[in-house]
Structure 1
């Protein structure tokens, strides 16, 4: 019997437990840098990390921030969403982001938005075709440490 549960990760130990999955998306991070960034984002920027567990094992992780902008109004910005590579195509990512949709609705947020790397065409199909997300903009970035 499969037992799936989504829950918020709030402790350094829980964030550490999620690192092996998150590292598959954020390959540039080592554990120390990851923990430092998660801690600071959690404390200063309302960042939340949630995980989907199947039979007690983390299979998918999402990080997001509640935000308010003039363009989107009250919305959730998904910063990170990744399913363990050995568990992909089992519906876990869809279950976890649907959980965030419900979380957002319960707290009166109007929408959920995210960006996805240009090269991640499978992810784009997932968002547009499976989840009915609209492609609404491009994201531009300027590195200031050049």
Structure 2
């Protein structure tokens, strides 16, 4: 049985850390917790987890945004499924949850970025979730 739960407390966030660490390998536990707290307070960042048999097997982080390009939209910051649980529809269920959340809160679209090396993820977004590749994301460390 699968259940999707909003993760709202520090205890919830820490429960999701081992799985999020698979995606955000550069973050230790304290950095992760500080960033989640700060972004939840300042940017409306939210975490949601998909539980299968009472164990987190997939997690997503997202936040509402407004830009001139996208208008009112949801930015999916993070989406990760445990490697042992992939190809079972968990990522799809979480993205559908984000879509429903967006519609219920008056947002017009969803956007995300995905690392260039994540070919399987790109195929998932385009073929299974009907996302369109619209741009490249550029980054400059200062």
TM-score, structure 2 normalization:
0.98
Measured on the aligned residues, the alpha-carbon RMSD in Å equals 0.7
2:117 equivalent to 1:119: yes
CA distance in 2, matches of 1:17, 1:61: 11
Runs of 4+ in 1 over 3 A off after TM superposition: none
TM-score, structure 1 normalization:
0.95
CA distance in 2, matches of 1:101, 1:15: 21
> Number of matched residues?
142
SS of corresponding position for 1:108: coil
5+ long unaligned stretches in structure 1: none
Superposed CA deviations along residues 1-21 of structure 1, whole A, max 9, x for unmatched, are: xx2111110111100000111
Contact map agreement 1:64 1:76 (CA 8 A) in 2? yes
Report the equivalent of 1:133: 131
SS of corresponding position for 2:62: strand
5+ long unaligned stretches in structure 2: none
